[in-house]
Amino acid sequence: MKLTYTILVFNKTPNVKFLNIPFLILTISIVIGILIGYYSNISLHLILVSLLISILGLTITWYRSKKMFRKGFSFSFLMIIVFILFGVTLVQIHNPKNHTSHYSNLLQSQDFEDHKVGVQFSIQERLKPTSYYHRYKVSILLLRNQVVKGSILLKIPKDSLHHILDIGNRYTTFTNLRSITQPLNPNQFNYANYLNNQYIYHQIIIKTDQLIKNQKTDWSLYNLANQIRKSINLKLSEYTFDAKQRSIINALLLGQRQDISQETFAQYRDSGAIHILAVSGLHVGILLVILNLVLKPLERCGRKGKISKLVFIIFFLWGFAIIAGLSPSVLRAVTMFSFLAIGIQIRSVTSIYNSLFISIFILLCFNPLLLFSVGFQLSYIAVFAIIWIQPIIAYPYRPKTYFSKKLWETFTVTIAAQFGLLPLTLFYFHQFPLLFFVSNLIIIPFLGGILGFGITIITLAYLNILPQSIATLFGNCIDLMNVIVSWVAQQEEFLVTDITFSWRMLLALYLIIISLIILFQHYKNIKVLWVTIALIMMFIVMIFEKHLHTHKQEFIVFHHHTNTALGVLENKRLKLYSRDTISNTTQRFLFGNYLVNNQATLDSSLSLKNVYTYKEQVILVIDSTSIYAIPKIEPTIILLSDSPKIHLDRVIDSLHPRQIIADASNYKSYIDQWEISCEKQNIPFHRTDKKGAFILK
């Protein structure tokens, strides 16, 4: 799928060495160090010591890398430790909270929620909007008239008056800085954690009319790229491209997916062609092939011509990366292909593996938390799977005609990529499109032509010399691609969803895939044993997971606005009790992931009762009827629902509960008052709007 043609071009380079093992081991050591630094608290003194040791070790490695593993076990072990410390140091150095100028160090924690502050910021990046908000990543410049640094999330409610904010524009406002909301129901997507990995810890929610635009604009590569994209879209708007066509063009050629509708995005996802909309190795690889063909005449000018060709290629690749927004996938692809381009031009003794690990090393040095980006992981696993697995799959069959050869190459590359991505796809998305190869076989062979055609369209439109007939033809090509993707996505019987897949199964499945590939490379009896051991491990993991989920029991009070929803999980079945009927869409949002992660199914949906008994706990539901004096009932837990008009202190004195819960069906003012009462009475109080769903095991 990705890198198809570039890999084929590169593999024709003579004298290609397979892999620099020391560099692979040191890259893995840095990854281990980043994991240690991310999941542990390291003191400042240890950071400084680690940095000094890392600098010394890097210096030694620079001079002795070629003979590194010939110096004996002690030296090799020392270098591994040094690079692990270097990974730990990277995490701490890049953590903005360790810098005194970061905005979070100037405010007390309560100020973020309760007190408004004066803030000046510049727009850094436009993010994909939600159903209710436009979202931007912004860089704080001033806070309480003090110069600070740091990135936060800006959310602007959608209305007809809002205009898209330009990258680089400065705004001033007076508002609250709020913590980013954690998921309030179990196993929901943790957007706060996703933003934390991009060093974004707080958000501003404000209307457009509360923003004061400053005259000064911050110029940067992002600003320049945004101006170029705006100019291109302005030119395209003069032609008959509709909104859907322009959104696909922006995704394919300009790396901007913000305007793609949820329906279109879902179709590409369900058809297994979502990678087409994300500018990454596939697009950059095709662009490199096109540049190699276009600039090939320069090679006739001798050594200077080859150098000029290399400079032009790298210049165009990074220019494309800047216009595409410098996203992690684009950075990864362009960094790796820059090394590939150098290797292709100078015919160096290197390999695509080395280029892969060099690009990982460089990107992690600039941003170690890229390691936790799903796109970063998927991109590198896909590339590695293609260059390792595709030749093994393609070897048994040697097509003779050009068309059948290209078709076989595309098919084997797609299969290889899916082999590598299968465990991660199941782990992150819990679904697998069985017809992925159909959409890829139809679209990928022509994607190079579509990209080349698109670049030509944009160039001609920018120069005001694009004929309308050519623009219409390109629009029809986009529509045809959308129709193919939509047809594949509609074959729902071939889309396997709600697949339970834990991190244990992820590791076990990768062990099976790796051992199988090693076996097929060179058959040996010992390798059959490895495959057998990997299969036994997967079997053990599956038995353990089934036992774990079968014996899991929970009583849950879900966070559901304007409604009360309770769940009882037992024997992998969830019984749902709710005051009002819950639609299928809302059910999937509330506890869809919860069911998948627990291998459970929805057993039944029943009306809400007033009293529940779970294990040794008696739960009393006090609703809008305000009835709580029930004979012979001594509740240990009280659930307040639908804003009952009660005097909570009297209820506590009468029933003596051990725990009180207030869900999202109550007025916030009531919940605040109840919380104060519980603090006075020294009774644990759980409010789902702040603490999330209440779970009783």
pLDDT digits (tens, 9 = 90+) for 569-626: 998 999 999 988 888 888 888 888 999 999 899 988 888 888 999 988 999 999 888 8
Strand, coil or helix: what is 436? helix
Mean pLDDT, range 547-559, rounded to an integer: 92
User: Mean pLDDT highest for which of 69-78, 331-340, 406-415, 677-686?
Assistant: 677-686
According to DSSP, the residues that pair with 554 across neighbouring strands are 569
pLDDT of residue 437: 67
pLDDT in tens, 665-695: 999 999 999 999 999 989 999 999 999 999 9
Percent of the chain with pLDDT over 70: 87
Contact 424, 377 (CB under 8 A): yes
Q: What is the value of pTM for the model shown?
A: 0.81
pLDDT band at 6; cut points 50, 70, 90 = very low
**pLDDT above 70 (res 7):** no
Tokens of 625: 């009827």
Task: Say how far apart CA 549 and CA 572 lie, in whole Å.
Answer: 6
CB atoms near residue 640 (< 10 Å): 26
Contact 121, 140 (CB under 8 A): yes
Strand, coil or helix: what is 161? coil
pLDDT of residue 46: 56
Nearest to 2 by CA among 330, 557, 414: 414
Q: What residues have CB less than 8 Å from 13, skipping those under 6 apart?
A: 343, 344, 347
pLDDT in tens, 188-205: 989 999 999 889 999 999
User: Mean pLDDT highest for which of 250-254, 291-295, 555-559?
Assistant: 555-559
pLDDT of residue 344: 63
The Cα angle at residue 581 between residues 575 and 587, in degrees rounded to 5: 60
CA of 334: how far to CAs of 104, 328, 439, in Å? 34, 10, 25
pLDDT band at 2; cut points 50, 70, 90 = very low
Tokens of 54: 């890392």
pLDDT band at 223; cut points 50, 70, 90 = confident
**pLDDT above 80 (res 492):** no
> What is the separation, in whole angstroms, between the first and last Cα of the chain?
46
b/e map of 219-232 (b: 16 or more CB within 10 Å)? Answer: eeebbebbeebeeb
pLDDT band at 10; cut points 50, 70, 90 = very low
pLDDT of residue 108: 65
**pLDDT above 80 (res 26):** no
pLDDT band at 22; cut points 50, 70, 90 = low
Task: Say how far apart CA 620 and CA 627 lie, in whole Å.
Answer: 10
Average pLDDT value for the chain: 82
pLDDT band at 70; cut points 50, 70, 90 = low
pLDDT band at 558; cut points 50, 70, 90 = very high
The Cα angle at residue 198 between residues 194 and 201, in degrees rounded to 5: 80
According to DSSP, the residues that pair with 118 across neighbouring strands are 174
Mean pLDDT, range 352-376, rounded to an integer: 82
Backbone angles phi, psi at 606, to 5 degrees: -120, 165
Tokens of 17: 């060495």
Q: What residues have CB less than 8 Å from 421, skipping those under 6 apart?
A: 378, 381, 382, 385
Torsion over CA: 219, 220, 224, 225 (sign): negative
**pLDDT above 90 (res 543):** yes
**pLDDT above 80 (res 634):** yes
Mean pLDDT, range 404-408, rounded to an integer: 78
* Count, residues in the chain: 697
Helix-helix angle 21-39:73-94, to 10 degrees: 40
Residue 541 corresponds to which amino acid?
Answer: V
pLDDT in tens, 513-536: 988 988 888 778 888 888 899 899
CA of 274: how far to CAs of 75, 383, 386, 433, 439, in Å? 45, 16, 18, 11, 10
Q: What residues have CB less than 8 Å from 435, skipping those under 6 apart?
A: 271, 272, 488, 491, 494, 495
pLDDT of residue 14: 35
E strands along 71-190, which residues? 117-127, 133-143, 146-147, 151-157, 169-175, 178-179
Q: Quickly list H helices, 347-467.
A: 352-366, 374-394, 402-429, 436-462
The lowest-confidence range among 141-145, 234-238, 443-447 is 443-447
Tokens of 6: 């570039």
pLDDT of residue 35: 84
Q: What residues have CB less than 8 Å from 246, skipping those under 6 apart?
A: 233, 236, 237, 259
**pLDDT above 70 (res 47):** no
Q: Quickly list H helices, 95-220.
A: 111-114, 191-196
pLDDT band at 564; cut points 50, 70, 90 = very high
Task: Say how far apart CA 258 and CA 269 lie, in whole Å.
Answer: 15
Mean pLDDT, range 398-419, rounded to an integer: 80
pLDDT of residue 461: 85
pLDDT band at 45; cut points 50, 70, 90 = low
pLDDT of residue 400: 81
b/e map of 236-275 (b: 16 or more CB within 10 Å)? Answer: beebebeebbbbbbbbbbbbbbebbeeebbebbbbbbbbb
According to DSSP, the residues that pair with 136 across neighbouring strands are 126, 154
pLDDT band at 379; cut points 50, 70, 90 = confident
pLDDT band at 73; cut points 50, 70, 90 = low
Nearest to 433 by CA among 481, 492, 345, 513: 492
Task: Say how far apart CA 84 and CA 30 lie, in whole Å.
Answer: 5
Strand pairing category for 200-205 and 178-179: antiparallel
